[in-house]
Amino acid sequence: MFSTQLKKDNSTLFIVLFLSIFLFLTGCASHTVLETGVKSVGIHAQEIDPYENFNRKSYAFNEVLDNYVAEPIADVYLWITPKVVQTGVSNFFSNLNEINVVLNDIMQGKLLQGSEDTGRFIVNSTIGLGGLFDVAKELGLEKHDEDFSQTLAVWGVPQGPYLVIPVLGPMTTRGIPGGLFDIAANPTSYVGGIFFPVQLLQVLNARASADGDLRFIDEAALDPYIFTREAFLQYRKNLIADGNVEIEDNIFDLEDELFDEDEEISDKLNNMNNNKFNEQEERQLQQAEAGIVEADLDAKIEALRLKIKLRSANQHGVNNN
């Protein structure tokens, strides 16, 4: 795949070198490289991450590579390069990637967005001096985030398990074809020879841009592996849904969890000294029912739950007697 893309390149050595560095650095850099489209995160960890043991080892391996190679290089880059240059470099590669964004806009049927992104590419490539300046943003054309993994998700391709590939970093199985397409659609994949430094710079830029991210994970995560996995899967899911569907899913997951608490209350009721309908429970039920008058949904649900539990407690009591 790579070698056919890069056939024009004169030096095989360069290809090998480039690939190994590119793959390694982007993998380490990103923690976000490829793809997914999870349903719910956290709750179904075993379904999502069946290869956790392997993944953890890969993750640890990538961490070591990053700590000893990618991070020191990125630190030097960030230290010696003025902020304005960093932004320019970042804009330049982002602009080249715009071609891929447009292709995926179209493949997902987002034609209006596709025309906006085409506009972005034209404006930034010309007035923006080859993409160094994001002039289009100033004109009100916001950047969009699209890639082939998202397109596959939109087309209904299942996400597949979460994987941490040595050197490459986090992805899901759907992200493999997704990532390969993205590489093929990026012009920098086709330059070689004297442009080799451009490819190196792209890799460096990617790692440097992720620096704050990675430091933040180090700082905030109790378990960096899980933190990275969850953030990656949730974030990708949000991208696929263009930020629209996510909340509902979260609410369901969380509220299910909240309802466990009600079960605890019920458990307590069941564990009370006797199984009979005592005064305290009755008062609780009356209070909960009073809540219905105020159209408080919580109180209503609580009342229903109490009713059911108390009824079963009563029956239980009768049976025991």
Partner 1 sequence: MSLIKNRKLITGLFVFFLGFNASVYAEKTSKIDSAVNTEKALEAKDVVLLFQDTLLGVMKKGAELGFKGRYQALEPAIVKSHDLAKVARIVVGKEWKSFSQEQKQKLNEVFSRLSIASYAHNFKGFSGESFEYLSEDETARGGRIIHSVFVLPEDKNVKFDYMLKKKAGNWLIINVIANGVSDLALKRSEYTSILKREGFEALIAKISEKIDNYTNQ
Instruction: Name the site residues for partner 1 (rule: CB under 8 A).
Output: 26, 29-33, 40-43, 45, 90, 93-94, 97, 100, 142-143, 145, 147, 182-183, 186, 205-206, 209-210, 212-213, 216-217, 219-223, 226-227, 229-232, 234-235, 237-239, 241, 243, 246-247, 250-251, 253-255, 257-261, 264, 296-298, 301
245 or 318, CB closer to partner 1?
245
15 or 144, CB closer to partner 1?
144
CB of 241 to partner 1, least distance (A): 8
Burial of 20: CB neighbours in 10 Å, binned 0-12, 13-18, 19+: exposed
DSSP letters for 11-59: -HHHHHHHHHHHHHHHHHHHSS-S----SSTTTTHHHH-TTHHHHHHHH
CA atoms within 13 A on the CB side of 44: 13
Residue 157 φ then ψ, to 5°: -70, 130
CB of 83 to partner 1, least distance (A): 10
221 or 314, CB closer to partner 1?
221
Q: For the CA atoms of 62, 63, 65, 67, what is the dihedral angle to 10 degrees?
A: 160
127 or 245, CB closer to partner 1?
245
Percent helix, strand and coil across the chain, each to the nearest 5: 70, 0, 25
CB of 319 to partner 1, least distance (A): 26
| Cβ burial 28-41 (10 Å sphere, 16+ → b, else e) | bbbbbbbbbbbebb
Residues 6 or more apart whose Cβ sits within 8 Å of residue 186: 96, 97, 99, 100
130 or 317, CB closer to partner 1?
130
12 or 248, CB closer to partner 1?
248
CB of 235 to partner 1, least distance (A): 5
State in Å, rounded, how far the first CA of the chain is from the last one. 76
Angle, vertex CA 30, rays to CA 247 and CA 163, nearest 5: 75
CB of 226 to partner 1, least distance (A): 5
CB of 34 to partner 1, least distance (A): 8
CB of 150 to partner 1, least distance (A): 10
Sign of the dihedral defined by the CA atoms of residues 280, 283, 289, 291, in that order: negative
229 or 309, CB closer to partner 1?
229
